[in-house]
Structure 1
């Protein structure tokens, strides 16, 4: 009887660890909080070559901006590793509304991987429709518009 209890306790402890091993992205150690207000949470992510994040959960609408061209390997929970190239200057949006993501990321390159994750916490709703900015549009949807800005373009 004692062996059964010990085995059951060990199973519970192992399962608890497996569940706790995945954290919200804002709590993952390589995702550093840079700014948070009622509208956004800005996470600065720097992954050195050969390093890997913990499994973490993305469940908040997010804009991702890449600051390095880096080969990364990504593993969605329960699936095999996949590799891909992130390119400096690329930006993307994902709502995570119906597709919460649990994954981990590894830097498979020889250069650091740098990206920001801008989590959209609540909508900014101005009293009137905002005019488009005079920059090349990267993407636009019901939640966000992203423009390509180059150094020096904002000089008065």
Structure 2
């Protein structure tokens, strides 16, 4: 390490955001904000949309070249997640729409239903309770009177 301290102008230059449209070798596309690291690597940060060659689309916030913050992920099957992301995973509050029309609103932990939530079944009945991975013991039917 040279011991030379970067000037504020140099640090600002490194942190400047810019917009790109990029096509990855596998056919995925990204359109949105990026920045260049001190090593010269361009990473996604800010707001952007990535579309995969197989039809998955993510629109939302990026940080550290990963989905981080509020966003929407849509699958070709019709499944859709709207909510918080952390390190490319559903994490925090969100809504997951299943392809069969059912829906979960609540907390997610690393892509899993985790904590207080509400599930709407195929008949439109709403169930509330605590969800743990694939189980939800003690769900209660929510009566709308």
* TM-score, length-scaled by structure 2: 0.27
Say which structure is richer in strand.
2
Say which structure is richer in helix.
1
* TM-score, length-scaled by structure 1: 0.25
